[in-house]
Amino acid sequence: MRLTRRDALLSTSATLLSTILPRSAFSQESPRRGGILTAHLGSEQRILNPALRASTGVYLITSKIMEALVDLDAEGRPVPILATSWEGTPDGKTVTFKLRDGVTWHDGKPFTAADVQYTAMEMWKKHLNYGTQLQQYLEAVDTPDLHTAVFRYSRPMPLNLLLRALCDLGYIAPRHVFEGTNILENPANTAPIGTGPFKFVQYERGQFIIAERNPNYWRKDFPYLDRIVWRVITDKSAVAAALETGQIQLSSYNGLSLSDLDRLKDDKRFEVSTRGIEANAFNNTLEFNTRRKELSDVRVRRAIAHAIDVDFFIENFLYGQGKPATGPIPSSSPAFYPGGKPPYPFDKKKSEALLDEAGYKRGADGTRFTLKLVPIMNGEDVPLLATYIQQSLAGVGIKVEIVQLDIAGALTTVYRDWNFDLATGWHQYRGDPAVSTTVWYRSGSPKGAPWTNQWGWQSDKIDQLIDQAATEIDPEKRKTLYAEWVKAVNEELPVWMVTERQFFAATSKQLRNHHNTQRWDSSDWHDTWIAAS
Amino acid sequence: MRVLLLALRRLAASLPTLFVLLVGLFLLLQLAPGDTVDALVAQIGGGDPTMIEELRRYYGLDVSVAVQLGRYVWRLLQLDLGYSAIYGKPVADVILERLPATLLLMGSALSFAFAAGMALGVLAARRVNRWPDTLISTLGLIFYATPSFWFGLMGIVIFAVKLGWLPAGGFEEIGAGYTGFRRVADIAWHLLLPTLTLALIFLATYLRIMRASMLEVMNLDFVRTAKAKGLSPGRVITAHVLRNALLPMVTLIGLQAGTMLGGSVVVESVFALPGLGRLAYEAVVQRDLNTLLGIVFVSALLVIVINFIVDLLYARLDPRIAT
């Protein structure tokens, strides 16, 4: 190739431009109004009401249409949305929310404290998954005036727990639409009416959902986008094709396969990142049924953990998307993360020694005993880990039989029938250990409750720590209690948190102001806009 | 009139089969661990026991299987397919929404596979054991042996991602608001790749059956007679061989109509089409009994209707088969 002076000049200026331009271009770019954002929806939801169903699939759509009292900012601090301020009493039994004035529902009715009262008492406390637990000691919501809601609890409610939980479990539904009807069958559950920046337009089953700009939104001059369209695409490979052809601009919560995420990471058109989804961490788990004699011995449980090379698994099966967990509280939760190292590093010799010590010597065929493993199919990585566990444990003389079931079947088999020795799936952390994490260890969950302690294992010390931390008002003391708790459950190991992972989103670089809070995909997108292509 | 009477008689004869099918499936599905509430809880990532109990009551799962079956049969007798747990509306509505896309996809794929399979089969038979035959038979084998999801995905990669000629998926342009002919063209545009994908496998079968059937008929006495009386080879093929060779093809259509409804799950998922196959799959995963039974009911009806038409066609093709 001959390089002319012209080429050389052009290329230098281009290089210069490319180093200078991006930063200045971003800071000077003024938001463009209009445009349609098309997002991927992986599985259709039965109802679109976040005050009745807590699930990322529901938030992905409804958080643009309905609003919560609070949301998280980029640093993970609660910020006002429908509540403008909040205050707790020193005894922790009363929390007062001041509510935003001048907010109207999409049907024109004003938003008041009566909506908050109704939603809290009739939906969160009675129907909302995780909400019913969070609000079980909620006695009443008083409404001294139109814009004040006073939550009264019979037991102390830590304010930081409540606020963090309310980002997900604090969506408000319109009282005037639901009151006096059968809540679960109300048509507004599939055609939501909210206060958010976008209004529901159309839901075509199996195809798409459309919402359009709310001209009367309380944040003046927002949102920027004209419309949001969610396309239902169930096949993960098809999602990648839709992204690449521009049919969709966003797929979050691991809507793409691990290999496509890895491939698109190097594609200049997309940002593939965990940024803006920090609030939803999860772990791959290994759950032990301690009713099984061998597994009732903590040495055996530890031996199993020691036998599995987590680093190798992450590197070779998960494309490096994750790290070994240090316990049930993820490092992305600075308010509670106690630090530390993975408690059971890969050590085959130690594993074998522990098994020998526990009295399970290898038999004539090299096998010590056989276990039944039930994978709970939360994601494509679960069967991979199941196979990896099977192979790893064969290395220390434990034979593993994998029982393949779909997710509904696996949940029943593990949590209701207790018909398993080992199970592997996901533990999802929801901002505060008291929301959905401590139930994995607390005794007393009724038989059949999924993702709770159904291991036939119980510890008074750990139960006590969990209860104490759940009602401790002082944030520092709470953190200390949880640190102590993590240490204790790592020691006892009724469940082993194998990996610590974050969800990935693939986003078109045309999008601006995306993933700028810790739960952006489940937030309102009021300031998101699309740059001209 | 006679045809109508015949149709009614045929339907009446199929009723017991239909009933046994539905009840059998209902009982069979009881063997699958977990119910629709478990599936819902799995989807939303957990829930507490009180909520789960309440949902079970809401979906009518708190009573024994016998009572559930009784309720279902009673509703069925009143021509009520029940409520869909996934979509929260009557199953009949849910299925009606999906039926057009399925019928369109199935109809076009079947027509294409039939037409192309017939043409290629005739071609291969006329040049039997020469290079066109070898080429066509090899192609047929490749189509038959390749899984349709792979064809679909490769089609998307080449024609949508790389070349940008065709849309990657979907039934039509969302929110474009096309009407009339523009909309028809848009839908056709979107269905081109899925139709081809679905058709290729069936094409292979048709092609092989057609070829074999042609070869067989070509050796029959009446063909020799036709040749002997001095008809041109083209005329022998079209007037004498083709018509008789078509009989097994028509049988095959009747048999495959059912398969096609189920076989489109893969194609519908890959191309994000709102068809019955995907609905059925989702209904199984979500343990939505009513929807699944409803789909089976509609599919069975469809198969009965198609087979009825096939029988009528038989009579036309071969007058010896009296009805």
Query: What are A500's strand-pairing partners?
Result: A323
For residues A272 and A287, state if they share a domain.
no
Does A26 map to a domain? no
pLDDT at B1 over 80: no
Q: For A183, which DSSP code?
A: G
Residue B197 C-alpha, separation from nearest chain A C-alpha, in angstroms? 14
Does A418 map to a domain? yes
DSSP characters over A370-421: EEEEEE--SSTHHHHHHHHHHHHHHTTTEEEEE----HHHHHIIIIIS---S
Q: Pairing relation of β-strands A369-375 and A398-402?
A: parallel
Contact A207 B171 (CB under 8 A): yes
What is the spatial distance between Cα B319 and Cα B323, in angstroms, rounded to a whole number?
9
Partner-chain residue, chosen from B54, B85, B87, that has the shortest CB–CB distance to A205: B87
What is the spatial distance between Cα A306 and Cα A14, in angstroms, rounded to a whole number?
53
For residues A209 and A305, state if they share a domain.
no
Contact B43 A45 (CB under 8 A): yes
- b (16+ CB within 10 A) / e for A323-360: bbbbbbbbbbbebbbbeeebbbebeeebbbebbeebeb
For residues A386 and A303, state if they share a domain.
yes
Q: Helix (H, G, I), strand (E, B), or coil: what is residue A235? A: coil
Partner-chain residue, chosen from A241, A408, A428, that has the shortest CB–CB distance to B38: A408
Does A50 map to a domain? no
Q: What is the pLDDT of residues A337-366, one digit of tens each?
A: 999 999 999 999 999 999 999 999 999 999
Of A185, A216, A234, which closes a domain?
Answer: A185
For residues B37 and B127, state if they share a domain.
no
For residues A227 and A315, state if they share a domain.
no
Does B161 map to a domain? yes
Q: Are A44 and B86 in contact (CB under 8 A)?
A: yes
Q: How confident is the model at residue B129 (pLDDT cuts 50, 70, 90)?
A: confident
The greatest distance separating any two alpha carbons of chain A, rounded to the nearest whole angstrom, comes to 82
For residues B87 and B101, state if they share a domain.
no
Percent of chain B residues past pLDDT 70, beyond the cut = 97
Contact B32 A409 (CB under 8 A): yes
Q: Measuring CA to CA, how many Å separate A195 from each of A34, A192, A221, A295? A: 20, 10, 15, 51
What is the spatial distance between Cα A408 and Cα B37, in angstroms, rounded to a whole number?
8
Q: Which chain A residues are Cβ-neighbours of B276 within 8 angstroms? A: none
For residues A264 and A172, state if they share a domain.
no
Does A5 map to a domain? no
For residues B108 and B12, state if they share a domain.
no
Report pLDDT for A96. 96
The helix or strand, by DSSP H or E, that contains position B315, with its residue range, turns out to be helix B289-317
For residues B101 and B87, state if they share a domain.
no
Q: What is the pLDDT of residues A179-212, one digit of tens each?
A: 999 888 899 999 999 999 999 999 988 889 999 9
Q: Which chain A residues are Cβ-neighbours of B164 within 8 angstroms? A: 245
Q: In what order do the strands lie in the sheet with A148-153?
A: A83-88, A94-99, A148-153, A138-142
Of B91, B122, B142, which closes a domain?
Answer: B91
For residues B144 and B80, state if they share a domain.
no
Contact B35 A408 (CB under 8 A): yes
Provide the domain limits for residue A125: 56-185
Does B323 map to a domain? no
What is the spatial distance between Cα A19 and Cα A27, in angstroms, rounded to a whole number?
14
Residues 6 or more apart whose Cβ sits within 8 Å of residue A274: A502, A503, A504, A505
Q: What share of chain B is helix, strand, coil (3-state, %, to 5)?
A: 80, 0, 20
For residues A73 and A209, state if they share a domain.
no
Partner-chain residue, chosen from A55, A409, A449, that has the shortest CB–CB distance to B44: A55
Q: What is the pLDDT of residues B260-290, one digit of tens each?
A: 666 578 888 888 888 888 888 888 888 888 8
Report pLDDT for A13. 44
Q: Are A441 and A453 in contact (CB under 8 A)?
A: yes
State how far Cα A516 lies from the chain centre: 16
For residues B15 and B158, state if they share a domain.
no
Looking at residue A84, which CATH number applies to its domain?
3.90.76.10
Of B46, B66, B91, which closes a domain?
Answer: B91
Q: Which residue has the tokens 């920090």?
A: A278
What is the spatial distance between Cα A293 and Cα A141, in angstroms, rounded to a whole number?
49
Report pLDDT for A15. 43
Residues 6 or more apart whose Cβ sits within 8 Å of residue A87: A95, A96
Does B252 map to a domain? yes
Q: What is the mean pLDDT of chain B?
A: 84
Contact B282 A44 (CB under 8 A): yes
In A23-42, the residues whose Cβ lies within 8 Å of chain B are: 36, 38
- b (16+ CB within 10 A) / e for A271-298: bbebbbbbbbbbbbbbbbbbebebbebb
Residue B239 C-alpha, separation from nearest chain A C-alpha, in angstroms? 46
Q: Measuring CA to CA, how many Å separate A483 from each of A138, A337, B80? A: 27, 7, 57
Partner-chain residue, chosen from B42, B98, B164, that has the shortest CB–CB distance to A411: B42
Of the listed ranges A2-6, A30-34, B247-251, the least confidently predicted one is A2-6
Contact B33 A405 (CB under 8 A): yes
Q: Residue B215: is it exposed, middle or buried by C-beta count within 10 angstroms (0-12/13-18/19+)?
A: middle
Domain count of the fold of chain B: 2
Report pLDDT for A180. 92
* Mean pLDDT value of segment A315-337: 93
Report pLDDT for B87. 84
Q: Is the peptide bond before A223 cis (omega within 30 degrees of 0)?
A: yes
Q: Pairing relation of β-strands A511-512 and A529-530?
A: antiparallel
Does B278 map to a domain? yes
Q: How confident is the model at residue A3 (pLDDT cuts 50, 70, 90)?
A: very low
Report pLDDT for A9. 46
Does A81 map to a domain? yes
For residues B34 and B77, state if they share a domain.
yes
Q: How many helices (H) and strands (E) does chain B have?
A: 13, 0
What is the spatial distance between Cα B116 and Cα B199, in angstroms, rounded to a whole number?
9
pLDDT at A383 over 60: yes
Domain count of the fold of chain A: 3
Report pLDDT for B262. 61
Provide the domain limits for residue B74: 2-91
- b (16+ CB within 10 A) / e for A198-228: bbbeebebbbbbbbbbbeebbeeebbbbebb
What is the spatial distance between Cα A67 and Cα A116, in angstroms, rounded to a whole number?
11
For residues A220 and A253, state if they share a domain.
yes
Q: What is the mean pLDDT of chain A?
A: 90
Contact A242 B168 (CB under 8 A): yes
A191 touches chain B (CB under 8 A): no
What is the spatial distance between Cα A247 and Cα B272, in angstroms, rounded to a whole number?
12
Which ranges of A170-271 does DSSP label H, i.e. alpha helix?
Answer: 175-178, 236-244, 258-264
pLDDT higher at B308 or A99: A99
Report pLDDT for A506. 95
Percent of chain A residues past pLDDT 90, beyond the cut = 74
Tokens of A84: 């403008």
- b (16+ CB within 10 A) / e for A243-257: bbbebbbbbbbbbbb
Of B29, B56, B91, which closes a domain?
Answer: B91
* Mean pLDDT value of segment A55-71: 94
pLDDT higher at A355 or B161: A355
In A452-491, the residues whose Cβ lies within 8 Å of chain B are: none
Tokens of A330: 């993820």
pLDDT higher at A231 or A449: A231
Q: Quick one: which of A59, A429, A74, A61 has its CA closest to A280? A: A429
* Mean pLDDT value of segment A102-109: 95
What is the spatial distance between Cα A114 and Cα A179, in angstroms, rounded to a whole number?
11
Residue A160 C-alpha, separation from nearest chain B C-alpha, in angstroms? 22
Taking the CB of residue B312, how many other CB atoms lie within 10 A of it?
14
For residues A450 and A380, state if they share a domain.
yes
Residue B200 C-alpha, separation from nearest chain A C-alpha, in angstroms? 20
For residues B162 and B254, state if they share a domain.
yes
For B83, name the nearest residue in chain A, comparing CA atoms only. Answer: A185
For residues B72 and B119, state if they share a domain.
no
Q: What is the pLDDT of residues B62-78, one digit of tens each?
A: 888 888 888 888 888 88
Looking at residue B176, which CATH number applies to its domain?
1.10.3720.10
* Mean pLDDT value of segment B143-171: 87
Q: Which chain A residues are Cβ-neighbours of B45 within 8 angstroms? A: 54-56, 129, 428, 436, 451
Of A132, A163, A185, which closes a domain?
Answer: A185
Contact B45 A206 (CB under 8 A): no
Report pLDDT for B180. 83
Looking at residue A264, which CATH number applies to its domain?
3.40.190.10
Q: What is the pLDDT of residues A126-152, one digit of tens each?
A: 888 888 889 989 999 999 999 999 999
Q: What share of chain A is helix, strand, coil (3-state, %, to 5)?
A: 35, 20, 45
pLDDT at B177 over 80: no
Report pLDDT for A330. 94
For residues B11 and B44, state if they share a domain.
yes
For residues A371 and A454, state if they share a domain.
yes
Report pLDDT for A317. 95
What is the spatial distance between Cα A426 and Cα A526, in angstroms, rounded to a whole number?
31
In A335-394, the residues whose Cβ lies within 8 Å of chain B are: none
Is the pTM value of this prediction over 0.90? no
Does A49 map to a domain? no
Does A3 map to a domain? no
Report pLDDT for B260. 67
**How many residues are listed for chain A in this entry?**
533
Does B208 map to a domain? yes
Partner-chain residue, chosen from B35, B161, B274, that has the shortest CB–CB distance to A206: B274
Report pLDDT for B263. 57
Partner-chain residue, chosen from A44, A204, A448, that has the shortest CB–CB distance to B52: A448
For residues B48 and B142, state if they share a domain.
no
Q: Are A121 and A140 in contact (CB under 8 A)?
A: yes
Tokens of A64: 């643009």
pLDDT higher at B3 or B206: B206
A176 touches chain B (CB under 8 A): no
Residue B92 C-alpha, separation from nearest chain A C-alpha, in angstroms? 14
pLDDT at A501 over 50: yes
Question: Which of the residues B29, B43, B95, B295 would you substitute to probe the A interface, choosing the one with the greatest number of A C-beta atoms within 10 Å?
Answer: B43
For residues A100 and A155, state if they share a domain.
yes
Residue B175 C-alpha, separation from nearest chain A C-alpha, in angstroms? 8
For residues A151 and A234, state if they share a domain.
no
Contact B45 A184 (CB under 8 A): no
The values of phi and psi at residue A490, to 5°, are: -65, -35
Taking the CB of residue B188, how many other CB atoms lie within 10 A of it?
13
Q: What is the pLDDT of residues A272-290, one digit of tens each?
A: 999 999 888 999 999 999 9
pLDDT at A509 over 80: yes
Does A13 map to a domain? no
pLDDT at A442 over 50: yes
For residues A292 and A267, state if they share a domain.
no
Report pLDDT for B261. 67
Does B322 map to a domain? no
For residues B173 and B284, state if they share a domain.
yes
What is the spatial distance between Cα B323 and Cα B314, in angstroms, rounded to a whole number?
9
The values of phi and psi at residue A211, to 5°, are: -130, 145
Looking at residue A444, which CATH number applies to its domain?
3.10.105.10
The values of phi and psi at residue A452, to 5°, are: -130, 175
* Mean pLDDT value of segment B254-258: 76
Q: How confident is the model at residue A17 (pLDDT cuts 50, 70, 90)?
A: very low
Report pLDDT for A527. 93
A244 touches chain B (CB under 8 A): yes
Partner-chain residue, chosen from A241, A247, A450, that has the shortest CB–CB distance to B46: A450
What is the spatial distance between Cα B169 and Cα B159, in angstroms, rounded to a whole number?
11
Query: What are A110's strand-pairing partners?
Result: A104
Report pLDDT for A2. 46
Contact B54 A409 (CB under 8 A): no
Of A185, A212, A237, which closes a domain?
Answer: A185
Percent of chain A residues past pLDDT 70, beyond the cut = 95
